[in-house]
Amino acid sequence: MRPTPSASEPSSALAHTIAFASASEGATALWPTLQLPHLQQLLQHAALVRSDLGEETDFCPPHERAWARALQLPVPESGVPWAAWEQQAADPAPQAQAWAWMSPCHWRIGADTVHMTDPAELGLDEAQSRALLEILAPWFAEDGIALQYQRPDRWLASGAPLAGLRTASLDRVLGRDVRRWLPDAQTARTINRLHSEVQMLLYTHAFNDQRAARGLAPVNAFWLHGAGQLQESVAVQPLPVDPALTALRQAALQENWPAWGQAWQALDAGLLRELLAAHLRGETVELTLCGERNALTWRPQRAGAWQKVQNIFKPKGLPDLPSML
């Protein structure tokens, strides 16, 4: 579902998005025990100004939709074209081809599941990643897809078969059964065939024999994400990165709920304390909280005299974010 109409956005709003503000059942159980006084004060008399509602099975998670909106990027059904957006930093001209990120990965295939581990956990260094790229690049080139090295756990792909390709975010599939988020069998036959060919190619390849000798999991699959094409130039600007936001994501993906709670405490003591201070100084503040399904944006309002009295004698608790997000 696309975002609902919202109040006009202030041009000078101090806005932040918190991804993985809620996650699965572990977060639901832990949430009532967290002490987050700055978040509580921010939301106490805040107006809900935007609701982007979706499903847990959406290919594009709520936080990526929120980021795209902040960057004025399109959010098509196929997903946000993150790779194309990144390419515009190097060349702002309208693009003549589609781009995607490609991550080599390990699929643990069971009787009824295909479970994907985090590509960052493969332990690939640059030399190993480039060696793997040389093995796979000719296979993809035969189908019109060019691969370029970008970093050990992610390459850059380009070519006609990527146009209109519906791909799921890595944040959606890490640690999960990937089958529900595989590209459509009818519209992505080339990609699905390459999935099968790569598995067969790498199954007995010397590259994986060397990894096995070192006790490492085999690289037996790849994941395409951030695919698409930008017909018009958009402003390329970096997204703010807060270490506590990174910690919140990592803990949620690993289902390490004590660490997730600690990351929330760090956010409350740092970023959210700063946002509250900015609000109390009279600045316009917006906070977008994202879970598995929804992204909700609040704008704190200035409290009147009676509201200030109520805040002292009858303060509101934290909203039940796990059920809302």
Per residue in 153-207, pLDDT (tens digit) is: 999 999 999 988 999 999 999 999 999 999 887 778 899 999 999 999 999 999 9
196/204 Cα distance (integer angstroms):
14
Instruction: Decide if 263 contacts 248 (C-beta within 8 A).
Output: yes
Q: If DSSP codes are grouped into helix, strand and coil, which group holds residue 113?
A: coil
Residue 6 lies in a domain: no
Q: Would the CA dihedral through 265, 270, 271, 277 be positive or negative?
A: positive
105/103 Cα distance (integer angstroms):
6
pLDDT tens per residue across span 216-254: 999 999 999 999 988 777 766 666 667 789 999 999 998
Enumerate residues 6+ apart whose C-beta is below 8 A from 45: 300, 301, 303, 307, 311
Is 163 found in the same domain as 125? Answer: yes
Residue 5 lies in a domain: no
Is 299 found in the same domain as 215? Answer: no
Is 109 found in the same domain as 208? Answer: yes
Is 213 found in the same domain as 87? Answer: yes
N-term to C-term CA, the chain: 14
Q: Which residues of the chain have pLDDT under 50?
A: 1-12, 305-314
Instruction: Decide if 107 contacts 114 (C-beta within 8 A).
Output: yes
In this prediction, residue 242 carries a pLDDT of 73
In this prediction, residue 7 carries a pLDDT of 34
In this prediction, residue 13 carries a pLDDT of 59
Is 245 found in the same domain as 213? Answer: no
In this prediction, residue 314 carries a pLDDT of 45
Where in the sequence is the domain holding 277, given as residue range(s)? 14-70+238-324
Domain boundary, last residue among 168, 202, 228? 228
In this prediction, residue 307 carries a pLDDT of 47
Enumerate residues 6+ apart whose C-beta is below 8 A from 261: 30, 33, 34
Is 219 found in the same domain as 243? Answer: no
In this prediction, residue 168 carries a pLDDT of 94
Is 242 found in the same domain as 224? Answer: no
Is 209 found in the same domain as 133? Answer: yes
pTM for the full model? 0.87
Is 90 found in the same domain as 34? Answer: no
Number of domains in the chain: 2
Is 61 found in the same domain as 43? Answer: yes
Is 169 found in the same domain as 129? Answer: yes
Q: Find the length of the chain.
A: 325
Is 216 found in the same domain as 108? Answer: yes
Residue 305 lies in a domain: yes
